[in-house]
Structure 1
Amino acid sequence: MKFRSRRLLNKQSAGPVCRVMRTARLSVKPKRDDRVERFVNRRANLVAAPVPKVASRTVKQMFVGMRETGGDIEEHLTPDEIRQTYPTAFVFSFVRNPWARVYSCWKDKIDDAVTPGKLSIISRFHHLYPFMPFEEFVEWLETEDGSDAHADRHWLSQTAHLSSSLGQSFCDFIGRIEAFDDGLREIQRRTGATLSSTGALNVQNRSESYVRVFSPRAKRIIGQRYGNDIETFGYQFN
């Protein structure tokens, strides 16, 4: 994990490295990337199913802090496998404004694609490249290559992350990251578990930064691409 986080490349070298990676990987269409990290506290019978780009690192740190009470168990499970593995657990997650999440994804994975891990993501997809302009990335998301059928976890829709293959939600509680502390208090009230926030969330300090980068067209595209998220979780652009 430490290796993947190092800034080993720059704008000049990232493109050629990505092209080499892509040559070896594009013979097969990517599959939906929904086998992601889940955090478990067996004693509290509590499972966190964080959505990537929705404070997943913050949630992980909370479970690390619960280590003495049976926490800090990390597993990679698909949505269907969560209930198969933990049928009686209280499962929770948080969601985020879809426009803000897309901007955060682009800023981290595309506009800062200077590590092998990030280039490994990009190289799986046709017509995606390091430092792609934001507007172009938004347009790519509405293509077949950018659809949920083939999506990487970081831009897979939140409803896909939080629904079984039958389209049913497996969570007992879904909060909004914009009201994170309120969500934690509700989880604690319903489970009796002690959840301590690890400090200010990264997303809170940038909660309005996405608004100024969206053109009317980009705003409309994301509204359509993530329409299920917007309708299910009741979001508006700002």
Structure 2
Amino acid sequence: MPTLKPECAARGQSGTATAAPPRANLAASPRSTHRRRRRSALLPSVLTFAVIVASGGLLLLIEKGMLNGMHTPAPLANAKQTDHQHRVAPRDPAVDVESQILQDIRNRTIRAMCGQQNSDHSVWSMSSPQRKTLLQHILVNEKYRFLYCYVPKVACSNWKRVLKVLSGALADVHVHLKMDHHADLLFLSDFTPDEIRHRLRTYFKFMFVREPMARLLSAYRNKFGEIKAYQHKYGAEIVRRYRKGYAKKGKVAGDDVTFPEFVRYLLDEDPERMNEHWMPIYNLCQPCAVQYNFIGSYERLEGDAAYVLERVGAPQDVRFPERQAWYKPVTKETLHYYLCTVPQKLLRELLPKYILDFSLFGYPLPNVTTDYCRH
């Protein structure tokens, strides 16, 4: 079997909203009436989602389809800040009000769900395999004192470029070199337990998330459409397992795996033993055991990345890389097409495997009803 190096999405869809900085002085703004209207319009849908999540009713709602049309926000920053970090200048007060509301709701949701008895509340209470996965996915920057939990297919290649620039291993984020996902990078797993505890307690911690089904589709198109090693190792096995007449075939290319076949494969996999490119984000970064100061989103990548770089005190000339010319974004239309090729029964069985990614990070469940797929 070939040795597989982790690869990550190069760039997300551009966005204009950034994550929540410190609360602004609302009384100083002349647009207070407008802001109150925006708050009143925003609260019902967000609060409804938070109540549903906190009550643990998402699995039931999958069957009833009640979340299909609900709008929910992209994830925002955790309210905690460490003393050694630089403060970020306040933004437009109206935007800050919305961000603060969503931040408060999201933090309450995470606390409520992570407060369940079956959740790990410490890195050291996890099983050895879980802890190993987590520590191998948290990158460390000693100079700027931050920890970044990378999630494959959520722009982590570019974040690794940024980390290499900040550590002096790379001259510029735009240097055209094939990304080595291990060289010149420091992982939390490289440290002793006491050193790990110190960094988890004192360093600024952040991660980035993505709509779960869009992330799966991105992994599917990249690994089975472009990467020979994944076609040979995973694709051939999937074809033999789920395609009639191929169970005993000796030589299978594995380069024509269909998306429904990929979904069938995921249904039979243990989330804790999945390949990192389709392992749930929750299992990779364990947000109940690690209290992240900031959780940015792929959908707001441009603004959220700029916020993080300013927050950690990175030099102003270090900017998050722009999207590569070859990158193929997963659009809403593309995702709709692929999801509607999968039998509804399979999708209903798949969603619970990623339910924590949907609920903790504020993503609505996809609409895969027959009526929706007719359009």
Q: What TM-score, normalized by structure 1, do the two folds share? A: 0.69
The alpha-carbon distance between structure 1 residues 113 and 127, as it changes in their structure 2 partners (threshold 3 A), is farther
- Residue 329 of structure 2 is matched in structure 1 by 205
What is the correspondence of 1:133-152 to structure 2 with a 5 Å cutoff?
133-143=258-268, 146-152=269-275
Query: 1:205 and 1:180, CA in 2 relative to 1: closer, same or farther beyond 3 A?
Result: same
Work out the percentage of aligned pairs sharing the same amino acid.
Answer: 20
Match of 1:34 among 127, 130, 133: 133
Shift of 1:196: 1.2
Deviations 1:135-164 (A, max 9, x none): 111122122xx1213211111100111117
Equivalents in 2 of 1:122, 1:90: separation in Å?
39
Per the alignment, do residues 97 and 69 of structure 1 end up closer, same or farther by CA in structure 2, a change over 3 Å counting?
Answer: same
Number of the residue aligned with 1:172: 293
* Counterpart check, 1:92 vs 2:203: no
Matched residue, 2:232? 119
Across the aligned residues of Structure 1 and Structure 2, the Cα RMSD in angstroms comes to 3.7
More strand by share: 1
Letter of the structure 2 residue corresponding to residue 56 of structure 1: C
Q: Would the alpha carbon gap of residues 188 and 227 (structure 1) be closer, same or farther in structure 2, given more than 3 Å must change?
A: same
Offset at 1:173? 1.2
What is aligned with 1:230? 358
Amino acid at match of 2:330: R
Among residues 159, 165, 168, which one is paired with 1:68 in the alignment?
168
Pairs aligned (count): 205
Cα distance, 1:127 vs structure 2: 3.6
Give me the whole-angstrom Cα distance separating, in 2, the residues matched to 1:183 and 1:225: 27
Per-residue deviation, 1:111: 3.6
TM-superposed deviation, 1:132? 2.2
Q: Which structure 2 residue ranges, 5 or more long, are not aligned?
A: 6-128, 172-182, 243-251, 368-375
2:282 maps to which of 151, 156, 159: 159
| Structure 1, 102-111 or 171-180: larger mean CA deviation | 102-111
Cα distance change on mapping 1:149 and 1:42 into 2, 3 Å: closer
Structure 1 gaps, min length 5: 6-30
Rounded Cα–Cα distance in structure 2 between residues aligned with 1:43 and 1:139: 44
Q: Which of 223, 227, 233 matches 1:109?
A: 223
Distance 1:207 1:45, change over 3 A: farther
Task: Sort the Cα spacing of 1:155 and 1:190 in 2 relative to 1 into closer, same or farther, 3 A.
Answer: same
Contact kept, 8 Å, 1:162 with 1:171, in 2: the verdict is: no
Tell me if structure 2 keeps the 8 A contact 1:54–1:95.
yes
Rounded to whole Å, the distance in 2 between the matches of 1:4 and 1:142 is: 22
2:301 alignment partner, SS class: helix
**C-alpha distance 203-97 of structure 1, shift in aligned 2 (>3 A):** farther
- 1:14 match: none
Contact 1:95 1:174 in 2 (8 A): yes
The 8 Å contact of residues 144 and 314 in structure 2, kept in 1 or not, is answered as yes
| Alpha-carbon spacing, 1:49–1:138, altered in 2? closer, same or farther (3 Å) | same
Contact persistence 1:55–1:177 (CA under 8 A): yes
Q: Distance in 1 between matches of 2:167 and 2:310?
A: 20
When Rg is computed on C-alpha atoms for both structures, the one with the higher figure is 2
Tell me which residue corresponds to 2:60: none
Distance 2:188 2:235 in 1: 22
> Is the 1:39–1:47 contact (alpha carbons within 8 Å) kept by the matching residues of 2?
yes
* 1:34 maps to amino acid: T
Q: Deviations over 1:103-130 (max 9, x none)?
A: 1111122343423x66346689894882
Q: CA deviation at 1:100?
A: 0.5
